[in-house]
Structure 1
Amino acid sequence: MAGDLTSQAGELLLSAHRTGVGVEPDMPAPQSRADAYAIQDHVLRQLGSAIAWKIGRAANDPEPYIAPIPKLGIVRPDGRCVLPPGAAQLGVEAELGMRLGKEITPEMATLGRAECLALFSHVVPLLEILHTRLAGANAAAPLWKLADFQASGGVVLGAPIAWTGQDLASVQVMVNGEAREARHPFGDPLELLHWAVRHLARRGGAPTGTVLTTGSYTGITQVGAGERFEAEFSRFGEVRTQVISPGH
């Protein structure tokens, strides 16, 4: 994707981040993940550093994908989430993130799995808040969605606990008081973390304290204005939010 198109796409998405109003690009779509990542980088440079990165993998593609979750967004400092203009609900996913105890540097692009995992110091219960900046058919187009931070609108972080090699593949979680037995959607999330550390190293690194999250244990729950969402993980603590209307 040519540099001018990357900038145009980035500026269009940036305007949607700032106004909360969805946009429908009238330009060629990204042609590759490299194009989508270039657009991500353009937007992130304007918004500031990422508080977290989300990692996933499509069912029909062995190559993972990654997207930043910026500090600015629809999540308030008190953990409540503000509905963007025109939105009636927000998607919420309960997840476990891993917090970096050491920074990722460009020299780490070839580290082995054990060395990559040694960079993490804490497990963090969290809620990812989903909201696309895209309108129309582009909201479902995979590469536009990736350019748009994989539809991430923000993250609510719970209290971290020390990482001592706990099993993350299978956990028990209470969602709004309802008990669920949950398995990680990708089986072994540690392999995704290994890939993500090396990917971020190639993109310039990530500072100490950044959280990497690898997928929902509970699927997406739609939460409307005035409604609360709370997840309590066995062994990993709890995290909660409330969705509120603008102006509250």
Structure 2
Amino acid sequence: MTDASNFAKAIAERHRNRERFTLEAPAGRAGDMDFAYDVQDQLVAMIAGSAAPPAGYKIGLTTPRMQQMCGIDEPIVGVVFANRIHPSPARVAVKDFVRLGIESEIALRIGRPFSDADGASNNVLDHVDAICAAFELIDDSHADYGRLAAAPLVADNAWNAGLVTGPVVAAAGIVSLRDLKGVLRRDGEVIDAGSSSDVLGDPVNALSWVVRHLARRGQALVPGQWVSTGSIVPTRFVEPGQTYRFDVEGLPPVELAIA
């Protein structure tokens, strides 16, 4: 049994026991991102079954504010499972998570496959058939952000706990995703705002980044999969009874009620 398999089993056991996130990478593996993604692959197979393709991917830590919050200076990727995608307006219960947070994003649905060259080109939106405002659900299991490291976070599937997708807009009608204002409301009141350009300069750059990342690992995006491009405003941890709405210029709002 490999170190990656053992580490993935330990993560799965922690989730079953609803324990706090206190992961330390095995000796000599603390900075080994290839190992971290090997663990993630093993964990995903344990959760979803090896024959089940991902329903999509989340790209995390794509803005300076999110990287500062987590103390990590590079983007990360996690898998989104089909049974964790919720259409807006959605309702989720905090009791189903150890500590539930939401991240306010733009999500892209893949319409046609990429080649390696496509991921590095300027026409990546040509591979997208739908765009929406979205909430990524994350479960940080009460992690100590002062001790957070990229490899254990990646190994734990980048904390992805689901995706709430707003009503879609056809990508054919979207010229650019730069400089779009995003506004987050809680119970009707504005609590934060940001710009889509904070996401690696353009959410399209985040999509290109994940295309290249998957290609290095012998994987690829396929039509129908979602890519959540990164939080325009920092994570908000939620409480029962709250309602959230995220508006992005040119897109219908995504709405979420917390039970």
Task: Decide: shared fold, TM above 0.5.
Answer: yes
Q: Could you tell which deviates more after superposition, 130-139 or 35-44?
A: 130-139
Gaps of 5+ in 2: none
Contact 2:89–2:166, Cα closer than 8 Å, also in 1: no
Give the aligned residue type for 2:230: G
Aligned-residue offset at 1:236: 0.5
Alpha-carbon displacement from aligned partner over 1:53-93 (angstroms, at most 9, x marks no partner): 12234479875432222234596997322324684x52112
Give the aligned partner of residue 101 of structure 1.
111
C-alpha spacing 1:43/1:156, structure 2 compared with 1 (3 Å): same
1:167 aligns with 2:171: no
Give the aligned partner of residue 5 of structure 1.
3
Contact 1:92–1:129, Cα closer than 8 Å, also in 2: yes
Give the aligned residue type for 1:191: N
C-alpha spacing 1:187/1:76, structure 2 compared with 1 (3 Å): closer
Which secondary structure does the structure 1 equivalent of 2:176 belong to?
Answer: coil
Give the aligned residue type for 1:232: D
Which secondary structure does the structure 2 equivalent of 1:125 belong to?
Answer: strand
Which secondary structure does the structure 2 equivalent of 1:50 belong to?
Answer: coil
C-alpha spacing 1:134/1:149, structure 2 compared with 1 (3 Å): farther
Aligned-residue offset at 1:139: 7.0
Give the aligned partner of residue 187 of structure 1.
201
CA separation in 1, counterparts of 2:2 and 2:76? 24
Give the aligned partner of residue 243 of structure 1.
258
CA separation in 2, counterparts of 1:134 and 1:126? 23
CA separation in 2, counterparts of 1:181 and 1:83? 24
Aligned-residue offset at 1:172: 4.4
CA separation in 1, counterparts of 2:22 and 2:184? 38
- Give me the identity figure in percent: 22
Aligned-residue offset at 1:8: 0.9
Give the counterpart of 1:117 among 106, 109, 125: 125
Give the aligned residue type for 1:170: L
Q: Could you tell which deviates more after superposition, 36-45 or 138-147?
A: 138-147
Higher helix share: 2
Contact 1:9–1:25, Cα closer than 8 Å, also in 2: no
Which secondary structure does the structure 1 equivalent of 2:78 belong to?
Answer: strand
Aligned-residue offset at 1:194: 1.2
1:67 aligns with 2:74: no
Which secondary structure does the structure 2 equivalent of 1:121 belong to?
Answer: strand
Aligned-residue offset at 1:36: 1.0
What RMSD, in angstroms, separates the aligned Cα atoms of the two structures? 3.2
C-alpha spacing 1:149/1:9, structure 2 compared with 1 (3 Å): same
Give the counterpart of 1:149 among 140, 148, 157: 157
CA separation in 2, counterparts of 1:32 and 1:102? 32
Give the aligned partner of residue 31 of structure 1.
31
CA separation in 2, counterparts of 1:77 and 1:11? 33
Give the counterpart of 2:101 among 91, 94, 114: 91
CA separation in 1, counterparts of 2:54 and 2:39? 15
Which secondary structure does the structure 2 equivalent of 1:15 belong to?
Answer: helix
C-alpha spacing 1:26/1:173, structure 2 compared with 1 (3 Å): closer
Give the counterpart of 2:55 among 25, 35, 51: 51
Give the aligned partner of residue 128 of structure 1.
136
CA separation in 1, counterparts of 2:155 and 2:25? 13
TM-score by length of 1: 0.79
Gaps of 5+ in 1: none
